[in-house]
Amino acid sequence: MNPASGMQLRIARLCLDCDELHDEAHCPVCASEAFAYLTRWVPAPERRMRPRETTSPDAEVFKGLLDPSPQVPTPTALAARSPTRLPWKRGIVGLTMLGVAGWLWQTGRTSSAAGAGAGATRKQNGPPPPPPAQGDDAGGPD
């Protein structure tokens, strides 16, 4: 560092071993790498006259999520809600819901009919016959 040029507060470092102010990676007096930035104790004023503007699309999305006020719709959003597309979307969603409901209704009917049919058959025939005894050898010679 040139002593006549001065040092910027933002890059000024205080050596923790010998209390020397410097702006290098290690202390020029004791060669220590232990330092603390001076802005830790002395606040540095903002260098910009006006704050930086955010132009990131992600920042705009987060601002929109945090701001509860209504937003002006974009042309893309208006096209998505156009009256010509809305009936098509509703029709497709409605047909899909009807198809799923019919499928569920039919599977419910077939499973209840199968369960009722099995019970009715058992009631007509009575209880199942007992298994044959293992000790009986009725047909063979002794």
96 band by pLDDT with thresholds 50, 70 and 90: very high
The span from the CA of 112 to the CA of 90, in Å, is: 33
What local confidence, expressed as pLDDT, does residue 86 receive? 66
**Highest mean pLDDT out of 70-79, 101-110, 123-132:** 101-110
User: What percent of the chain clears pLDDT 70, i.e. is strictly above it?
Assistant: 62
The span from the CA of 22 to the CA of 28, in Å, is: 7
- Tally of CB atoms within 10 A around 27: 21
Q: Convert 118-141 into a string of H (helix), E (strand) and C (coil).
A: HHHHHHHHCCCCCCCCCCCCCCCC
Q: Give the domain ranges of the chain.
A: 7-42, 87-115
DSSP code at position 14: E
Burial class (CB in 10 A: 0-12, 13-18, 19+), 11: middle
What local confidence, expressed as pLDDT, does residue 46 receive? 75
What local confidence, expressed as pLDDT, does residue 78 receive? 60
Give the torsion through C-alpha atoms of 7, 12, 15, 20, to 10 deg.
Answer: 20
Are 64 and 55 a contacting pair, CB within 8 Å? no
pTM for the full predicted model: 0.32
Are 34 and 19 a contacting pair, CB within 8 Å? no
What local confidence, expressed as pLDDT, does residue 124 receive? 56
